[in-house]
Amino acid sequence: MPHGTGACLPGIFIASSAADDFSNIGVTFRLKEHPDVTIFFADRTAGDLSKMTSKQRNEFVWTSDAVGRVIHLHGPLRYRPTLMAGRLGTASFATVTRYDGATDYAYLVTIQGDPKASVDTPDLELLVERTAKYAKGMPPVSGDELEQIAKAIAASVTRRPVQ
């Protein structure tokens, strides 16, 4: 484990010059056993986006046109409280109609940062989505499977304290 200041990502450490450097790091992963599942995780120094609550940020992502043409959120509580990295945030699960007409699923967790906190509390975002056309001859994961995978990933997120 690196001992300097910076950002730890799987297989890489990005050093920074000072403990108060601003970060805006996002990384995308694919699962070998599920090539149709993409995981995007972002860690952003609390700042202007932190003025949005985690629910507002969640709504912003769904309405930004980046995920799909039509978003249908599931459940009686479309935006539900959740924990990720030991912090309270907002989770939502959706059926996504892509611009090409394909139907997929996505799970989103957003955590509001606090720029005034005495410890590093960045904005966090996790988007786990299925893109069925990438299943490579395997059956694409179902909506229930995707939600289970996404919840397990969100529960596994931890942050190393700033040293």
Assign 134 a pLDDT band (cuts: 50, 70, 90): very high
Token pair in block for residue 92: 């939502």
What confidence tens digit (pLDDT) does each residue in 6-25 have?
666 666 777 766 555 557 77
| Structure confidence at residue 46 (pLDDT) | 75
Predicted model pTM: 0.86
Token pair in block for residue 4: 């300097």
Kindly report the CATH number that applies to the domain delimited by 6-156. 3.40.1000
Sketch the domain layout of the chain as residue ranges.
Answer: 6-156
Query: Minimal CA–CA distance to 107: which of 89, 121, 133, 85?
Result: 89
Token pair in block for residue 114: 């606090």
Return the C-alpha torsion angle 25, 130, 112, 85, nearest 10.
Answer: -80
Maximum CA pair distance of the chain?
Answer: 50
Return d(Cα 157, Cα 84) in angstroms, integer: 6
- CA dist list (Å): 24 to 14, 45, 70: 12, 6, 28
| Structure confidence at residue 146 (pLDDT) | 97
Query: Which residues are within 8 A (CB) of 57 and not within 5 positions of it... i.e. 6 or more apart?
Result: 49, 90, 110, 112, 123, 125
Is the pLDDT at 92 greater than 70, yes or no?
A: yes
Residue 104 CB neighbour total at 10 angstroms: 22
